[in-house]
Amino acid sequence: MQKKTFIPEWATVAEHLRDGLGYSEATLKRTRYTYNVFVRDYCSTKESETISVIQQGIEQVEMAFESGEISRDKLLRLRRLAFQILQLIETGQINWKRAPLYGKIYGNSSDEALLSSYVEMERREHRHAESIIKRDENIIRQYIRYAEENKINIAHAKAQDILAFLSFMKKRRPAGLKSVASALKHFYIFLIDSEMADANILLAIKPWDTPQKRVYGVFSAEEIQRIKDAATQLSDTETGKRDKAIIMLAIDCGIRSSDICCLKLEDIDWRSASISIIQKKTGIPHTAPFSAETGEALADYILNARGTSNLPYVFLKKSYFDSAMTSSLLCQRLKKLMEKAGISRASSEKINMHTFRRSLGTAMVDSGESLEMVAQILGHKDKEATKGYIAISERMLRECPLPMPEINERTEKNDQDEI
């Protein structure tokens, strides 16, 4: 008979979370609630081996989410804790390893092999950023499952099959339909290049993949100064010093929020007043200079507010010891600074941390810099990615007026007489 083991008690789990991940008492208090819910509501039976009980509990959590009983946030918290408990049982410790996506459904072996070949090709040829490749992989897997359920041969799919899938996805994720069409296009280009699909299939995707280009908002020079002033006013606290350093870095360097979160202490070159990073989105090395004011804000935070930590990242959460910042938290902090500065913008303008990047690019275009220079400063792979900043450049728009045709006064008078 197989020897039974049992789910570790909370005291044991808490000890490893505190020692292994540096959880604060406040974080442990929240996690204890999650632990109690998971053990009480989803792991009620102990009639089988513990790992099986936890895995069954994960399945129950997934079912509760699918039926609408729990929110996605609660699903993620329960699933993360379950993975940490499994780590503790299997290895005797808990680390920062990312929890797997439990319950992920895959297609049949031949379709999955086709998808794997596509992903390998994308990574080998660096056609797209890693984030785009992962997005495409998830979408194409949904397409594979849809095709199998509807008895569609992916390589020989017809236009009506593609349109039916796009209509299906429009109901599930209307805001992300462009991403769905883009993923399908990338995948079928691969199949066409491999002589496995007819090129005409792209005609069914084209209308869905070319929506009207959206223009997002930017900060004016006056608004940027007001945000800087607000950050300075709040810089007497540890959190305020961190926020000011982040804002100054975003204004000066125009780097993405993901790169700010992943910025390491070793990435800062104090002698040349610059940062050197591998961009998370593209994987391309990038070096950006910063001003003396930004350098002072960085030094003030690192020396007087950051504290000691085993993590290499520059910016750390204040409420979670030894945890790096996240893009969503950066946007929350920006929102508070905008409120402090008295800046209010319409939600349609999509103002967030990326707005500093757009603002820098637009300001450079307005000042007469070439697209090549703007691309170099922003770390774009080529200037094609930089052309979007022309659409919101006031100077460039002024250079593109359409001539008004001359109006024949006699013809205008005759038209009025007819009316």
Shared domain for 202 and 150, answered yes or no, is: yes
268-269 and 274-278 as β-strands: parallel, antiparallel, unpaired? Answer: antiparallel
The answer to whether residue 187 sits within a structural domain is yes
Q: Kindly report the CATH number assigned to the domain that includes residue 240.
A: 1.10.443.10
Confidence of residue 208 (pLDDT cuts 50, 70, 90): low
Please, are residues 217 and 227 in contact by the beta-carbon 8 Å criterion? no
What would the pLDDT profile of 378-415 be if each residue is shown by its tens digit? Answer: 888 777 677 766 655 555 555 555 565 554 544 444 44
The answer to whether residue 227 sits within a structural domain is yes
Residue 249's pLDDT is 96
Reported as type and span, the H/E element at residue 274 is strand 274-278
The answer to whether residue 329 sits within a structural domain is yes
Phi, psi of 384 (to 5 degrees): -60, -40
Shared domain for 274 and 254, answered yes or no, is: yes
The answer to whether residue 404 sits within a structural domain is no
Q: Quote the distance between the C-alpha of residue 80 and its chain's center.
A: 19
The answer to whether residue 102 sits within a structural domain is no
Shared domain for 235 and 350, answered yes or no, is: yes
Residue 105's pLDDT is 66
The set of residues, in sequence order, having a beta carbon less than 8 Å from that of 331 and lying 6+ positions away, is 257, 352, 353
Q: Kindly report the CATH number assigned to the domain that includes residue 138.
A: 1.10.150
Shared domain for 144 and 16, answered yes or no, is: no
pTM summary value: 0.58
Last residue of a domain, one of 58, 91, 124: 91
Shared domain for 165 and 120, answered yes or no, is: yes
Shared domain for 377 and 277, answered yes or no, is: yes
Shared domain for 31 and 55, answered yes or no, is: yes
Structurally, how many domains does the chain consist of?
A: 3
Task: Tell whether the model's pLDDT for residue 310 goes beyond 60.
Answer: yes
Report the helix count and the strand count for the chain, using DSSP H and E: 18, 3
Shared domain for 236 and 147, answered yes or no, is: no
Shared domain for 48 and 176, answered yes or no, is: no
Shared domain for 198 and 300, answered yes or no, is: no
The answer to whether residue 156 sits within a structural domain is yes
Concatenated DSSP letters of 204-223:
HHHHHH-PPPP------HHH
The answer to whether residue 214 sits within a structural domain is no
Average pLDDT over the chain, rounded to an integer: 84
Shared domain for 255 and 381, answered yes or no, is: yes
Please, are residues 305 and 246 in contact by the beta-carbon 8 Å criterion? no
- Single out the residue of 308, 332, 333, 334 nearest to residue 321, CA to CA: 308
**Residue 360: burial class (beta carbons within 10 Å; 0-12, 13-18, 19+):** buried
Residue 292 is part of which domain span? 221-398
Confidence of residue 342 (pLDDT cuts 50, 70, 90): very high
Shared domain for 265 and 288, answered yes or no, is: yes
Alpha helix locations (H) across 104-218?
Answer: 109-125, 130-149, 159-172, 177-193, 202-209
